[in-house]
């Protein structure tokens, strides 16, 4: 597993780099202390590198940085490291398909678990982050955009989008010229196919996979 670390606190950056270099299954491919340096180096990095990225960098807002990262590398794997337990940053960053959000006071074991999960194609969020406390969202696989259509039918995607807009079964039936029982069946099939527990899980899946804003 390959990781690239960006953090503006030199002692933390050096300490984390040394710590991860001791792990036989990991390779630290480089470090940056600011957003500009990271963006300059990104085009030359391996597509296999996982970015360990501090949320608060002095030279660029976090949303602007992840947007630029996505422009250069749409599928780049990113794990955010932060001391912030609140959900404001998570809300802002989730729409950019981030793969992880880990507190800086997490144990070495948890950080390694996060890296391993993301390396295998999943997502990892520290359990202390309140917004991610339900099991249908934390540490689950995100389906790539091109594969959503292979899992869900066109009609199911239409129903899902209307569910996210808070339309009732009756309203969805009217809009799509379906019976209410058919809409109810589509809802049940969506929940079963996506492995979520309820409507909240459907909405979170849609957001993760860029089906809705």
What is the arithmetic mean of pLDDT over 147-175? Answer: 88
Asked if 2-132 and 145-208 have one fold, the answer is no
What is the tens place of the pLDDT at every residue in 104-160? 888 889 999 999 999 988 888 887 665 444 444 444 445 555 467 767 889 999 999
Lowest pLDDT segment from 34-48, 49-63, 103-117, 187-201: 187-201
What is the tens place of the pLDDT at every residue in 198-211? 888 888 888 877 88
What is the arithmetic mean of pLDDT over 10-39? Answer: 94
Q: How confident is the model at residue 161 (pLDDT cuts 50, 70, 90)?
A: very high
Q: Check whether 176 has a pLDDT greater than 80.
A: yes
Please state the domain extents for the chain.
2-132, 145-208
Burial class (CB within 10 angstroms; exposed 0-12, middle 13-18, buried 19+) of 212: middle
Q: Which of 23, 18, 30 is nearest to 1 (CA)?
A: 23
Is CATH 3.30.70.1060 the classification given to domain 145-208? no
Is CATH 3.40.50.2300 the classification given to domain 2-132? yes
Q: Check whether 18 has a pLDDT greater than 60.
A: yes
Residue 142 has what DSSP assignment?
Answer: P
Q: Which of 61, 62, 107 is nearest to 80 (CA)?
A: 62
Contacts 24+ apart (CB under 8 A), 192-197: 193/151, 193/152, 193/156, 194/151, 195/136, 195/140, 196/136, 197/134, 197/135, 197/136
Q: Name the pTM for this structure.
A: 0.62
Residue 60's contacts (CB-CB under 8 Å, 6 or more residues apart) are 34, 35, 36
- Determine the pLDDT at residue 132: 43
Q: Any idea which residue has 């490291």 for tokens?
A: 81
Whole-angstrom distance between the N-terminal and C-terminal Cα of the chain?
A: 32
């Amino acid at each position: 597993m390959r990781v690239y670390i960006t953090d503006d606190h030199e002692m933390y950056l050096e300490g984390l780099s040394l710590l991860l270099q001791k792990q036989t299954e990991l390779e630290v491919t480089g470090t940056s202390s600011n957003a500009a340096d990271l963006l300059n180096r990104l085009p030359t990095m391996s597509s296999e590198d996982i970015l360990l990225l501090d949320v608060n960098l002095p030279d660029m807002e976090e949303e602007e940085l992840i947007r630029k990262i996505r422009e250069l590398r749409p599928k780049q794997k990113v794990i955010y490291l932060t001391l912030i337990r609140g959900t404001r940053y998570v809300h802002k960053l989730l729409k950019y398909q981030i793969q992880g959000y880990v507190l800086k006071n997490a144990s070495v074991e948890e950080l390694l678990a996060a890296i391993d999960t993301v390396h295998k194609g999943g997502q990892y969020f520290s359990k202390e982050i309140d917004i991610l406390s339900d099991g249908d969202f934390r540490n689950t696989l995100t389906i790539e955009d091109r594969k959503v259509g292979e899992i869900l039918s066109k009609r199911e995607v239409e129903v899902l989008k209307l569910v996210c807009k808070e339309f009732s079964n009756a309203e969805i039936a009217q809009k799509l010229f379906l019976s209410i029982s058919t809409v109810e069946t589509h809802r049940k099939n969506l929940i079963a196919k996506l492995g979520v527990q309820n409507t909240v899980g459907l909405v979170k899946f849609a957001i993760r996979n860029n089906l809705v804003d």
